Structure 1
Amino acid sequence: MANEGPGERVGKRVGERVGEGVRARRRAETRSALVREARALFAARGYGAVGLAEVVRAAGVTKGALYHHFDSKAALFRAVLEQVQREVGERVAERAEEQSGVWGQLTAGCAAFLDASADPEVQRVMLVDGPAVLGWNEWRALDEATSARHLSEALAGAIEAGEIPRQPVAPLTRLLSGAMNETALWLASSGRPEDLRDARAALARLLEGLRSSEE
């Protein structure tokens, strides 16, 4: 076999890189389709009522392709939950950033979390099935990386600005986060539209109680 010339070797390497890029794109598209279809099914019917065969059918891929990305149904659900929690965190941050002052950002972000929690898809995936499927500790770790992180940053900013008396941020974050998560769980089981309005009003009063008194 004749030796390859420089041009042929370069062409071969370029072809290999192009081929790998195409394969990587297809893998990403397959994973995205699996997460998208699983999310729709989990949100509509709940984790326990959905089988992997349904997800594979809806995504238009093989079961082997699914197992290439996720080694179990729980692992697929975790990817869905991560996506939902990340989106909730982004909604909270976006609403907060619309406000100019640190106090307005804190209160707007907390209200946005309750609003997001009223979304049936968020309720089912993040609040009902999330702790049950992954366990409380893993669910809390995911929450810490998204909504709780935004809350901690907002509280730290409010303390630094003198809006809240100086105190350790970590326990305050967990107390407030726990209260809001419990309220969100309650909203998930509530059938009354006015409960969200009442919860937001109660949250506003709770936050106002944290605020520094004017001299």
Structure 2
Amino acid sequence: MAGGLEAHQRAVAAEKRAALVEAARRLFGERGYERVSVGAVAKAAGVSLATLYKHFESKEALFGAILAERCDAFVRRLAATDVPAEGLEAQLCAFAEAYARGLADPSTAETLRLLIGDAPAFPHLAEAFFTRLEGPVQGPLRDHLRLQREAGLIDYDDEQRAVRELLGMLEGGVLWRMLLRGEGVDDAHVREVVHSAVETWLARYAV
């Protein structure tokens, strides 16, 4: 009986925390971080200010939770990629398309706008966000490229540069269109960016 009550309490607490994060995400996106009070977040989430402080010690902690959740969602999407067993170009395209589709998700542009607007005040949060992404995003790609290099299919002198060149082409083709023009990115554009990036990358590094 006690165990059931505790499980219920944990579930309720998790729901309230999720409601707070979602309310903060929406309000920060609409008004900007500086213009949103913790009271406004609590009200939008339908909880008391005391409840908010049970979950988050500050507004900055809320901001950090938003970034962490967005980062983890991006990584989960990438980890679920179905990479073909053979074919260098097909394998790179599969990874690149998963990455590009993650970039094309509206939540990615929304998160980056928050970071661009508020990172000067919280450089450590921006740094933590990109550090949290770097390993899970670049790690699998690095491992794959090393295997292909050992097999004699590609060659490069600077692994970091090779990785950043591929990711940079994908980011440039997807993100800046969303951030600077405010335009959505459809499947056709994603595929075009992916194939162009992979083709250009292989022209440089394929043996």
TM range (shorter): 0.7 to 0.9
- 2:77 aligns to what SS in structure 1? helix
- TM-score where L is the length of structure 1: 0.71
Counterpart of 2:16 in structure 1: which amino acid? T
Match for residue 57 of structure 1?
43
Counterpart of 1:128 in structure 2: which amino acid? R
Counterpart of 1:200 in structure 2: which amino acid? V
Of residues 18, 24, 28, the one that matches 2:10 is 24
1:110–1:21 distance in 2 versus 1, CA, 3 Å: same
For residues 95 and 53 of structure 2, the distance between their equivalents in structure 1, rounded to whole angstroms, comes to 38
Q: Note the C-alpha offset of 1:194.
A: 7.6
- 1:71 aligns to what SS in structure 2? coil
Unmatched tracts of structure 2, length 5 or more: none
Of residues 184, 202, 205, the one that matches 1:208 is 202
Larger radius of gyration between Structure 1 and Structure 2: 1
Q: Is the 8 A contact 1:160 1:166 kept in 2?
A: no
Q: Deviations over 1:92-136 (max 9, x none)?
A: 333x315333632332222332232223321021x2223543424
Describe how 1:29-108 pairs up with structure 2 within 5 A.
Answer: 29-94=15-80, 96-101=81-86, 103=88, 104-108=90-94
For residues 31 and 196 of structure 2, the distance between their equivalents in structure 1, rounded to whole angstroms, comes to 31
- TM-score where L is the length of structure 2: 0.73
1:192–1:65 distance in 2 versus 1, CA, 3 Å: closer
Match for residue 114 of structure 2?
129
- 2:60 aligns to what SS in structure 1? helix
1:212–1:199 distance in 2 versus 1, CA, 3 Å: closer
Moved more, 186-195 or 58-67: 186-195
1:107–1:71 distance in 2 versus 1, CA, 3 Å: same
Q: Note the C-alpha offset of 1:141.
A: 0.9
For residues 183 and 71 of structure 1, the distance between their equivalents in structure 2, rounded to whole angstroms, comes to 39
Q: Deviations over 1:177-209 (max 9, x none)?
A: 455445554232134568955643542233223
The alignment covers a number of residue pairs equal to 197
- 1:97 aligns to what SS in structure 2? coil
- Report percent identity of matched pairs: 28
Match for residue 138 of structure 2?
148
For residues 12 and 64 of structure 2, the distance between their equivalents in structure 1, rounded to whole angstroms, comes to 21
Match for residue 106 of structure 2?
120
Q: Is the 8 A contact 1:52 1:73 kept in 2?
A: yes
Q: Is the 8 A contact 2:100 2:194 kept in 1?
A: yes
Moved more, 84-93 or 18-27: 18-27
Q: Deviations over 1:63-88 (max 9, x none)?
A: 11111111222221221122222222
- 2:99 aligns to what SS in structure 1? helix
For residues 40 and 26 of structure 1, the distance between their equivalents in structure 2, rounded to whole angstroms, comes to 21
